[in-house]
Structure 1
Amino acid sequence: MDVWGHSANDDGNRHALEDHLRGTQRRARGHAEVFGAGEVAGYLGVTHDVGKATCEWQNGLMRAERTGGRVGVPHKHAGAWLADHVGLGPLSGVALGHHGGLPSDSDLRNALIWADAEGAVSVQEAIDRVARDVPEILKGPGLPTWLEHVATVDPLVVDLFVRMVYSAVVDADFLDTEEHFHGHPRAEHGLQAKDLANRYEERRRAKLKGRMPSPVDAIRSRVYEQAIAAAAGPQGIYRLPAPTGSGKTFAAGGFGLHHAQVHGLRRVVVAVPFMSITEQNAQEYRDLLELPGEGPVVLEHHSGVDLDDAAAGDRWARLAAENWDAPFVVTTTVRLFESLFDRRPAAMRRLHRLAGSVLVLDEVQSLPDRLLVPILSVLRTLTDHFGVTVLLASATQPAFFGLSPLKHVPARDVIAEPAPLYQSLSRVAYEWWTDPAPTLGEVAQRVAGHRSVLAICNTTAHTSQLHRLVEHERPEGRGPVLHLSTRMIARHRKETVARIRALNDGDHDVAVISTQLVEAGVDLDFPHVFRAFATAEAMQQAAGRCNRSGHRDTGRVVVFDLTDPDDPEKRGAGGDVVYGAALGVTRMYFGPGKAQPDDLDALDAYYEERFALTNVEPDGQEIQDARAAMDFPKVDRLFRMIDEYTVPVVVTDHYPAQAERIRHILTLLRSGVAAGGLLRELRPYVAALPRHLLTGPAATLVAPVIGDLVEWLGDYHPLRGIEISDSKEYVF
C-alpha cells in the first residue's frame, strides 16, 4: 500500500513518506556536515517520521484530508526507539521532540519504555513497513569519535551537540515539508560571509570619502586597521576593547568578514542588547554590503521587525529569519541566546547556522550577571567544537576570563594596547556632584541652563519628574525639552531619537531627559551630559554621548548623586532596585578622589569584585546542572534574558491615523484570531509598564487583550508617554 507523509498540496499530490524521509535526511546531513555530524543528523532525519507508517496514522491522515482537522495520532516514538537502539543515546530525543521540543532525560526514558511495552506493536509495524523501502533505518552511524572522547570530560558539550543536531533536523523537516506544499524548494542564499570582505572594503572607503571629517578619524582608522590585522589570526575568542566613538561598529564588521574570508566561514552574526542599536547597525551594514539591483544580504532579525509584509524583500526577510539563511545577520542578544538555550523547534531552527561562523557580541557589558556562566560556557563550546569565532566588543570589557568557563582560555586582543587608545580618545572631563548631594530640582536648574544637553536618570519616575522640572526652568526660546523612556511607545521613541539626531547634526538647541536606553550604541552627541550615579559601565556609556565626534576640546560629564529621600538607590543595603549590588562595588572604585569610569585597571578590579559579590558563579550553576542532566525543559524555564517584571501595553490614540486599525486588531485578538502577524503589527504602538503597577493605581486604566498584553485606557502625554507616579519604578 502507499505510505504517505503529508496530505495533498494545492496540486492534489500527497507527499510519499519515503520521499519525505529521504528529503529530510539529505538536508539534515548537509546542515550538520559543517560540525562533523552529517551522518548522525542524516540518520535522525530519515527516521524522525517513521511512526507515520502505521495504519492508524495513515487512516488519520485520510480522515484529516476529508474534514480539515488534525491527524491526532502520535508518530514520534518509532524514530526515537530506532535512534536509541542504534546507540545514539540522548540524540533519540531529537526524534521524540521534533514537533514539541527537546524532552528531559526522564521524559525520554519514559517514552522509550512505552515504545518497548504498550506501544511495541505499533512501533514495530511502522518500522517494518518503512524498512522495506528505506532499509538504512535499521543501522545507525554511531556517534562521532570526537564527541565520545569529549563527553567523558565535559557533558555540556553533549548538551550543545544535541541542540545543534536537533536544529539541523527540524530545519530540514520544515524545509522538506515546505517544498511539498509550495511545489518548489526554497533557494539557498548565494553568498557567504567569506565572499563579502572585498565589497565591504570598497564601500567603506567610498562612504568615508563622502563624510564630514572628524578630529577622531585618524584614531578610528587605527582601530579599524588593527581589527583587520587581527582577523588574520586563528579561530577562537577575541576581545575588542574600544571606547565609544572609535568606530567599533565598522571595525567589528570588518573583523568578522575578513576573518570569514581567511577561514572560509559562512556568515557573520552580530548580536546587540537593544533593538534601537539593531536597527541602527543593520542599516550601517546594509549601506556597505547591499548593491542596487541585487537581492538582500543583511538580515535584521528582532522582535520589532514586521516580517509578514508580502513585498519581495520583506518576504525574503521573513523566510531567512526562520533559519538565518543569510551571509550577514544582525539580531539581539535575546534572539541569539533564545536559540541557544530554548527547546522548541521554531526558536532552534536557526541554531545550526552558527557553526562555521563569526559571532560578534556587541556591548557585552549588558549581558546579565546571573546568566554569564552558561552564556560563556556555551560560547567556549561553540569555539572549541563547532568552528565558531567569537568577538566580544565593548567600551567597558568585563573580566569574563576570570570566570570559570573562560579561566584557561587564551584571550586574543584585537587592540594590543588599549590604554593609549582610551587616553587619546578621552574627550570628556568628569565632574562629581556628590557632596553635598543635589536635589532633583537643583539638577533641573543646571540642566536647563545649557543650550544642548543630555540628562540620564536611573528610574522612569525620576526621568519624568526631571523632564517636567527642566521644561519649567528652561528659558523661553532655548529649544525643545525632549524625553526618552520605555513609557513611550516604540514608534514614538524611534521618531524622538531621529528628531534629536537631526537637532544635533544641525547644532540646534535641545535638552533631552532620558533613561539609560540612550547609553548603548545610540549615536547622539552633546557638549554636556548629566548622569545620575550608576555603575561604572553605565557612566562610561553615558560619557560616550558627550563630545562623541571630538569637535570640541572637551565635553563635560556631570555625575550627580541625588539626595531625594524617595530615590530607590538610597533604600536598604546592598544596592538598589535598578543596579543591585553592582552599584555598591562601583562606589568602592569610582568617584571623587577615586578612579574615573574609563580607567581600565580600575574597571578590571571593579568587575572582579562585582562578579564575586553578585554570586555570578553559583547563580549560573543550576542551569549548568540542568544542561549536564539533559533536562532541556528545565534549562528553557531557567534561562530568561529579560526579567519578566514588565507588561506590554498597547496605546491606541497617539497616532490618530492608525487608531482605527489598532482597535480592530485588538478586537480580533480578543476574539481568538491567531496572534502572530497581528502582534507584530502592534509592536510600534507598545510601551512597557512594571507588572506591580497593574495591581495598584494603574489597574483601572488597562484592559486585558491576550496573554500579558493589555490596552492603555488612560492619557498619553505627547512627550513623556504613559505617566504614573511611582518612585519604585524600574528603568529600561
Structure 2
Amino acid sequence: MDYIAHIREKDGEIQTVQEHLDGVRGLSEKFGSKIGVQYLAGLSGLLHDLGKNTKKFKNYIQDAIANPDNPPPKGSVDHSTAGGRLLYQKFYNKQTNSIENLAVEWMAMSIISHHSGLRDFLTPDLSSDFLRRVMEKEIPEFENAVASFFEQQVSETELQEYFEKAKNEVIHIVKIINDNRLKPITMSLILKFIFSSLIDADRTNTRMFDENEDESQMVDSASFFKESYNALMDKIASFRNSEHAGKPINLLRMEMSDQCEGFASNPSGIYTLSIPTGGGKTLASLRYALKHAMEYKKERIIYIVPYTTIIEQNAQEVRDILKNDEYILEHHSNIIEDRNLENDDEDYDLIKKKLKLAKDNWDSPIIFTTMVQFLNVFYSKGTRNVRRLHNLSNAILIFDEVQSVPIKCISLFNEALNFLSSFCNTSIVLCTATQPALDFVENKLKISSDSEMIKDLKMVGQSFKRVNIIDKTTPKGFTAAELKTFILDEMEQVNNLLVILNTKTAVRKLFEELNNEEERENHDYLLFHLSTNMCPAHRKKVLKDVKKALSNKKRVICLSTQLIEAGVDISFECVIRSLAGLDSIAQAAGRCNRHGEYGIRNVYIIKSADEVLSKLKEIEIGGEQTARILEEFKVEPEFFGNNLLSPEAMSVYFQYYYSQISNKLNYSIAKSDKTIFDLLNQNQDYIAAYNNKNNTRFPLISRQSFATAEQHFHVIDNLTTSVLVPYNEEAKQIIADLNGNLEIRELGDLLKKSQQYVINVYDPELKKLDKEGNIELLLHGNVYALKEPAYTDEMGLDLKGEGSWSLEIW
C-alpha cells in the first residue's frame, strides 16, 4: 500500500510517505553536513514521519482534505512518535551510558518534537517527556508502520549502517567539546542544530510539493557577493575622489576601512571592530564581510542590531550601494505569533498550514535582523524560530552595537556565539565603539587572540573627539517644564538639538510642553518625535524629514527614546541625554557633531523627573554606575584619560556594571531559583531531586529541560504581539490582501512586505485596544491589525498612560 504524506490542495496530487521521507532526508543531510551532523540530521529526516505509514493516518488525511470546513480534530492521529520509538527500541542500550545512547537521544528527541518544539528530557515534576513518548505512549499500528518502512524505504541492514555513521559523528562532536573544554550547554545547541535541519527540511519539502516546484531555484551567493563587492568598491572609489576626501577625519575613515579589508584574510573566529561612532563602521564591516565571504566561501552575511530603526537605515544604505532588493532581507519580527501555530501533530487548518510553510528560514545572502530575533533562534519555543538556526552556519555575523545584549541573556548569548565559532565555521564580528567586555563575565565569550580589527584605538579615539560631556544632573531631576526651559535657552546658542530620554512617557510629556503653537512661533523651531510606537516605515519617514530640515538649516528640536542613539546616521549641534549607562551616553554623543563640522560641541547629561525606571532595572543600574564614574572623574580625570568616553572609562564602567548584575546574567526564571542557562547546561537541581526521589541515577545521558526553558524565555520580559498598522496606502492594501485567499508564495511575499508596518504591543495594551474596538483580526485570527483611529502621524500608536509603555521594544 502507498501511504500518504500530503495531498496538494489545488489539484489533489498525492505525495507518498516514501517520497516525503526521501526528500526530507536529502535536505536534512545537506543542512546537517555544514557542521558534521549529516547523518544525525539525515536519519532524523528519514524517520520523522514514519508514523504516517498507517491506515489510520491515511484515512485521517483523506478526511481532512475532503472536509476542509470540518476537519478531524488536530492531534487525533500521532504520527511523530513512531520514528523516535523505532530508534529507541532498536539502538538504545539501557545497561550503559554509551555514545549510541546519546545518538538515539538527539535524533529521537528531534523526531518526536517536530510539530511541537523540543520536549523535556527531565521535567519539573521529575518525569521525562522523552521516555513517556518513546517507551510508554500507545501507538496504534506501530508494527505495521515499521514493517512498511523496511519494505519500502530501507532494509534493517541499511538502517544499521546509517546509524553507525550517525554514531561516529557523535564521537567526533564529543571530542571537540572535550578538547575545547566547552560547557554541556554545547550539546543542547548541537541537538537544536539537528532539530533545525529537520524542521527546515520538512517544511521546505512540504512547501515545494505544495507549490509544485523543485529545489533548483537556489541563490548563487558567490556570484552575488562578487558583484556586491565590486559595487561597494566603486562607491568607495567615489569617496576617494570626492572634494572632502582629503579631510583628516575622512582619511582616517578610509584607513580603517582598508584595515577591515585586510583583516578579511583571517580565518573564522570571534573578532571586535571598535570604530568610534561616526567612523563609517557599516560600510567598513560590509567591506570585511564581502571580502571574507569570497575568500572563505561563506553562504550569507547577517547583520544583527539592537533596534529596528538601524535595520531600516543600514539595509537601505546597503541596498543603495549594491542595487539589489531581492537578495537583501529585513527581518524585524514575526508577524504571525508562534503560540498560534504550534501543536502536537499535523494541522489541517489550511490557513495555519500555509503560515507554517511560508518561506521564513533566513536563506537570503544578506539579512538584517534584531538581537531579539537572533536570540529567539536559539532559545525561544516552538519550531518557527529554530528553523533558521542551521543557516547561521558557514556565515558571517556582524553584531552592530553589541553592548545592547540584554543583561539576563549574556551567558546564553556568549554560549551561542562560542557554539557558532567552535562548530559552525561562522565568523563573528562584535561591532561597537563601546565594547562590553563579554570576556569579563563568568560564562565568557571565547574571543580570538589579536581580535581587534583596528590598530591604535587610543589615537583613533582622540582623532574622533568632537564633543564635551557636561554633567547637568541634579538629585530631583528636570520636570518636563524645566527641561523645556533648558532646551529653549540652549536653542539661543545652537540651530538644532536632540533630546534622548529613557521612557516613552517622559518623551510624550516633553513633546506636549514643546508642542505649543505660541512657543514654536516665538522660538521658531520645528518639532519632531520618534519612538517605537511608530512602525518602521513611519520612523523612516520622520528621520527623512528631520534630515531634510537639518540640511535646509531649519531650527529643529527632535525628541526620541534611545532608538535613535545606536547607529542612526544623523548629526545635531547639541544633544541632551537622560542619565543611563555610559555606553548609552557614548552612543548619544555619536549623534552630536557627527562629522566634526562644528568644532567641539556639548552633550549634556541630565536626570528626568518624569521617568519611572522601576521596571527598567538595567537602565537604572547603568545610570547609577555612570553617576559613580562622573563623581570619580571630577576627582581624578587623568585616571580616565581626561575623557569620559575613553576606553579606560568604558572599561571601568563595565566592570562596575557587571559586578552589580553578576547574579542576573544566566536568565533567572521568575518565582523560581532556576536559571535557563542551567536547565540547558547541567540541570543540576532537577537531576539531584530525581536521584534523591528515586534512589537511582537518571536513566538518560541527556538531561536538559528544553520545553521548560523555552516556555520562560522572552528577550523582552513583558509579552508583546506584532500588530500591523494602517500607516499609509500600501499598509492598508496589505491588511486588505491578508483577508483574501492566498497561495503560500503570495502569503510569504506579503508577510515580508508587512515588516515595514508592524509595531509590537504589550498584552495589557492589546486588550485595551481590542476592548475599544481598535483591533481587527486577519487570516482567521492569526494576524492582528490596528484600526485607523488608534494610529496618528504625530505619535504613531496613540495610547496615553504610563504602564508598560515606558519600556522600549527592540
What is the TM-score with the length of structure 2 in the denominator? Answer: 0.79
Contact 2:306/2:401 (8 A) holds in 1: yes
Aligned residue number for residue 483 of structure 1: 529
* Runs (5+) with no aligned partner, structure 1: 307-317, 670-674
CA RMSD of aligned residues (A): 3.6
Aligned ranges 1:175-574 → 2 under 5 Å: 175-186=204-215, 187-192=217-222, 195=226, 198-206=229-237, 208=239, 213=244, 215=247, 216-290=249-323, 296-303=326-333, 322-406=360-444, 409-411=447-449, 412-434=451-473, 438-448=478-488, 449=491, 450-472=494-516, 473-476=519-522, 478-562=524-608, 564=609, 567-568=611-612
Does residue 1:105 correspond to 2:121, yes or no? yes
Is structure 2 residue 645 aligned with structure 1 residue 598?
yes
Return the alpha-carbon distance in structure 2 between the equivalents of residues 414 and 282 of structure 1.
23
Q: Decide whether the 8 Å contact of 1:77 with 1:112 is kept in 2.
A: no
User: Structure 2 vs 1, CA of residues 168 and 420 (structure 1 numbering), >3 Å: closer, same or farther?
Assistant: same
**Deviation readout 1:120-174 (Å, 9 max, x if unpaired):** 6622221111101222345513331222334666321211111111111121112
CA deviation digits over 1:462-488, x for unaligned, max 9?
212222333444454723111122344
Q: Specify the code of the residue in structure 1 equivalent to 2:116.
A: G
Q: Which aligned pairs between 1:580-595 and structure 2 lie closer than 5 A?
A: 580-590=620-630, 593=634
Cα separation, 2, equivalents of 1:666 and 1:263: 41
Number of aligned residue pairs:
705
CA change 1:334–1:200 in 2 (3 A) is farther
CA 227–703 in structure 1, closer or farther in 2 if over 3 Å, else same: same
Determine the structure 1 residue equivalent to 2:47.
47
Q: Tell me, what secondary structure is at the counterpart of 1:105?
A: coil
The worse-fitting range, judged by mean Cα deviation, of 457-466 and 197-206 is: 197-206
SS of the aligned residue for 1:349 comes to helix
**Which range moves more in the overlay, 96-105 or 375-384?**
96-105
Contact kept in structure 2, 1:504 and 1:524, CA below 8 Å: no
Q: Any conservation in 2 of the 1:453–1:527 contact (CA below 8 Å)?
A: yes
1:420 partner letter: M
Structure 2 partner of 1:130: 149
Match of residue 311 from structure 1: none
Alignment partners' CA distance in 2, 1:369 and 1:118: 41
Aligned 8 A contact 1:82 1:137 in 2: no
Aligned residue type for 2:166: G
Distance 1:702-1:432 versus aligned 2 partners, 3 A rule: farther
Alpha-carbon spacing, 1:503–1:637, altered in 2? closer, same or farther (3 Å): same
Alpha carbons 1:702, 1:711 under 8 Å: kept: no
Do 2:51 and 2:145's aligned partners in 1 also have CA atoms closer than 8 Å? yes
Matches within 5 A, 1:589-668: 589-590=629-630, 593=634, 596-614=643-661, 615-619=663-667, 622-628=675-681, 629-644=703-718
Distance across 1 between alignment mates of 2:243 and 2:555: 21
Could you say which residue in structure 2 is the equivalent of 1:168? 197
Deviations 1:428-481 (A, max 9, x none): 122222358655434323423242111112222221222233344445472311
- Gap change, CA 1:118 and 1:172, over 3 Å in 2: closer
Q: Does 1:146 align with 2:192?
A: no
Residues 320 and 415 (structure 1), Cα distance of their counterparts in 2 relative to 1, 3 Å cut: farther
- State which of 77, 80, 87 in structure 2 corresponds to 1:76: 80
The answer to whether residue 651 in structure 2 is matched with residue 579 in structure 1 is: no
How far off its partner does 1:114 sit?
5.1
Q: Residue in 2 aligned with 1:312?
A: none
Alpha-carbon deviation of 1:33? 1.0
Deviation at 1:256, TM superposition (A): 1.7
Q: Is the Cα–Cα contact under 8 Å of residues 264 and 288 in structure 2 kept in the other structure? A: yes
Separation in 2, partners of 1:14, 1:219: 63
Aligned-partner Cα distance in 2 for 1:384–1:464: 47
The verdict on how the C-alpha distance between 1:234 and 1:360 changes in structure 2, with shifts beyond 3 A counting, is same
Name the CA distance, whole Å, in 1 between partners of 2:197 and 2:302. 18
Q: What is the rounded CA distance, in whole Å, between the counterparts of 1:561 and 1:523 in structure 2?
A: 25
| SS at structure 2 position matched to 1:324 | coil
Residues 520/649 of structure 1: CA separation in 2 closer, same or farther (3 Å cut):
same
Q: Could you tell me which residue of structure 1 aligns to residue 697 of structure 2?
A: none
Note the C-alpha offset of 1:499. Answer: 0.4
Once residues 326 and 792 of structure 2 are traced to their aligned partners in structure 1, the CA distance between those partners, rounded to angstroms, is 39
**Structure 2: 5+ residue runs without aligned partners?**
92-99, 337-355, 669-673, 682-702, 742-746
- Is residue 719 from structure 1 mapped to residue 785 from structure 2 by the alignment? no
Percent identity of the aligned residues? 25
* Residues 658 and 22 of structure 1, relative CA distance in 2, 3 Å threshold: closer
Match of 2:339 in 1: none
CA pair 188-462 structure 1, distance change in 2 beyond 3 A: same
Query: By how many angstroms is 1:635 displaced?
Result: 2.4
* Aligned mates of 1:373, 1:160 — CA distance in 2: 14
Query: What secondary structure is seen at the aligned counterpart in 1 of 2:214?
Result: coil
Structure 2 counterpart SS, 1:405:
coil
**Cα shift at 1:419:** 1.6
- Which piece of structure 1 moves more, 277-286 or 474-483? 474-483
For structure 1, which segment, 659-668 or 279-288, has the greater mean C-alpha deviation from structure 2 after superposition?
Answer: 659-668
Q: Residue 179 of structure 1: SS of its match in structure 2?
A: helix
Is the Cα–Cα contact under 8 Å of residues 5 and 15 in structure 1 kept in the other structure? yes
Secondary structure, in 3 states, of the residue corresponding to 2:569? coil
1:274 to 1:379, Cα distance in 2 relative to 1, 3 A: same
Q: Secondary structure at the match of 1:243?
A: coil
Name which structure has the greater RCO, CA cutoff 8 Å, separation 6+. Answer: 2
Distance in 2 (CA, whole Å) between partners of 1:727 and 1:48 is 46
C-alpha displacement of 1:296: 2.6
Q: Give the TM-score taking structure 1 as reference length.
A: 0.86
Q: Within 2, Cα distance between the matches of 1:662 and 1:233?
A: 45
Q: How big is the shift at 1:198? A: 3.8
Checking the alignment, whether the CA contact within 8 Å between 1:301 and 1:321 is kept in structure 2 is no
CA gap 1:568/1:67 in 2 versus in 1, 3 angstroms? closer
